[in-house]
Amino acid sequence: MTPSTELLSQIDQWENDTIKNVHKAAEKIRYQLTELLNQDRNQLINKFEILTKEITTLKEDDDFAEDDIERFRMTINQIQLSLEQLNLPEKSKFIIVENNEIDWNHLISVEEKQKLLPLYSMNINANARWISNGHTVAGGNGAGNAINQLGRPSGLCIDYDQSVYVADFDNHRIIKWKNGATKGEVVAGGNAEGYRTDQLYSPTDLIIDDERDSIIVCDYNNLRVVRWPRRNGKQGEVIVSNVRCVGLITDNNGSLYIADNKKHEVLQYRAGERCGTVVAGGNGCGNRLDQLQCPRWLFVDQDHSVYISDNENHRVMKWIEGAKEGIIVAGGHGLGNGLAQLSHPCGIVVDQSGTLYVADTWNNRIMRWLKGATEGSIVIGGNGRGEQPNQLNQPTGLSFDRQGNFYVVDQCNHRVQRFNIDPSSCS
C-alpha cells in the first residue's frame, strides 16, 4: 500500500467511525428521553394509586369530612395539570450543536508533515556547550533483548519529533524510542539473526528516507543494505548486496553512500543506479592519502564532499567531489589521547560552517574540530570510561536534533544519551 493510498484509507475509516459515533449519540439521547418520560408517568400513576386508596378507605369507613373533599379536589387538579404538561416540549431541554455551528473543515484536516533537516544544514555556534550530564533516551537498563534494553547499539538517527531510531547490533533489530518513552518499538528485524528478508544480522547504521517513508539499514553480517518500511514493515527489500557496510548516508540529490569496511572504500549509488562508483579509497588498505583502513561512519555536506571516519588510521578524511585523494581534517597523528589525536573514531557530523564533531571512541569522548584546526576540543565525555551521566564507554553514532541537542550512542553502556545544549552558550 502506497503512503497516499494509506492516507485515503485512514480518511474513509475516520468517516465511518464518525457516522457510527453520531448514531450512538442519537440512540443514547433517545433512551434517556424515554426513561425520563416513563419516570414522570410512573410518578403520576403512583399519585393516582395513593389517592384512590385513600378515597376507598374513607368511603368504606364513611368518614368523609369537608376538608378531605377539598383536599382531594386540589390533588386531582394537580394531577390533571401534570398530565397536560407531560408532553409539552418545554418539559425537557436538549442542548444540540446545530450543523451550521460545527466547523466541519477542522474536524479533519491535512497538515503538511515536517521534514527532516539535513544535518549539514545545522548551524551550531562555534562556542556552543552542552550540559555535561546526559539523559538516557534509549536503553540504559543493562545489556539485553527486552523492549526496554539495547545490546551494544551502534548507529542512530533522529526524527523531526525527537524519536530515536537505533541500530541494536547484538539484538539484530532496529528499535524506535519515542521522545520520553521508557521502552522502544521494534520497526525492523527482531526475528533473531538470519538472512531472511524479515531478519537482520548485526545492523550497524541506518538513515531515514523521508520521501519513501522508509529506513535504510546497514545489514552488516548479511553483507547487504536493506530498505524497510517505516510503518508496519514486516520485511525489508535488499537494495545493495555483497558489501560490508558499516556506515551510510544520502546527499541532497538522493545518492546513497556506503562505507565498505572490507574493501576499504566508499561507494556512491546515484538514484536509480544498481552499481556503485568508488568516490573514496579503493586503493587497498593503507594510510596514504588515497587509501583508507576500515572506514566506518560517513557524512556528506551540501557540496558533496565526503567525510570518513578512517577508523584504523585514527583520523577523519575529507574527499572533495571528484578528488583522487583525501585531506586529513582531524587526527592523523597516530593512536593517542592528545587533543591532536584520535583513537578509533566512529560517528561524525559536520555543520554548516564546516565544524566537525567526531566520536573519539576509545578515548570515550566527543570532540569538536573547527574548520582548519590542527587540534580539537572535548565537548562531551573525556571523564574516563564509565557509566555515570557525564561519562561514556566507547561512543559510536552521533546526531543532533533541531534544537541542537547532542545524541550519542554509548555502545558499551547499552544506551543512547542526549546532552542538552546550554542556551547561555549560544547567545
State percent of the chain over pLDDT 70: 81
How many angstroms separate the CA atoms of 211 and 61, rounded?
A: 95
Instruction: Tell me the per-residue pLDDT of 369-395, one tens digit each, with 9 for 90 and over.
Output: 999 999 999 999 999 999 999 999 999
Q: How many CB atoms lie within 10 A of CB 211?
A: 10
How many angstroms separate the CA atoms of 329 and 327, rounded?
A: 6
How many angstroms separate the CA atoms of 56 and 62, rounded?
A: 10
pLDDT category, 53, cuts 50, 70, 90? confident
Find the helix or strand (DSSP H, E) in which 368 lies.
strand 365-369
Strand partners, 67: none
How many angstroms separate the CA atoms of 126 and 70, rounded?
A: 98
Strand partners, 7: none
Amino acid at 172: H
pLDDT top residue among 144 and 110: 144
pTM: 0.75
How many angstroms separate the CA atoms of 148 and 146, rounded?
A: 5
Domain ranges of the chain: 3-116, 135-425
Residue with cell 527486552: 146
Helix axis angle for 66-85 and 3-61, nearest 10°, is: 160
Contact 166, 184 (CB under 8 A): yes
Residues 6+ apart with CB under 8 A from 181: none
Instruction: Tell me the per-residue pLDDT of 296-319, one tens digit each, with 9 for 90 and over.
Output: 999 999 999 999 999 999 999 999
Residues 6+ apart with CB under 8 A from 142: 149, 414
Q: How many CB atoms lie within 10 A of CB 89?
A: 7
Q: 135-425 belongs to which CATH class?
A: mainly beta
How many angstroms separate the CA atoms of 409 and 347, rounded?
A: 9
How many angstroms separate the CA atoms of 153 and 165, rounded?
A: 10
pLDDT top residue among 125 and 427: 125
Q: What pLDDT score does 19 carry? A: 80
Q: How far is residue 378 CA from its own chain's centroid?
A: 29
- Grid cell locating 184: 522502544
Angle at 21 between CA 17 and CA 25, to 5 degrees: 175
Amino acid at 15: E
Its sign, for the CA torsion 412, 413, 418, 422, is: negative
Q: How many CB atoms lie within 10 A of CB 348?
A: 25
Instruction: Tell me the per-residue pLDDT of 338-350, one tens digit each, with 9 for 90 and over.
Output: 999 999 999 999 9
Q: How far is residue 169 CA from its own chain's centroid?
A: 19
Instruction: Tell me the per-residue pLDDT of 169-201, one tens digit each, with 9 for 90 and over.
Output: 999 999 999 999 999 999 999 999 999 999 999
State percent of the chain over pLDDT 90: 63
Amino acid at 211: E
pLDDT category, 87, cuts 50, 70, 90? low
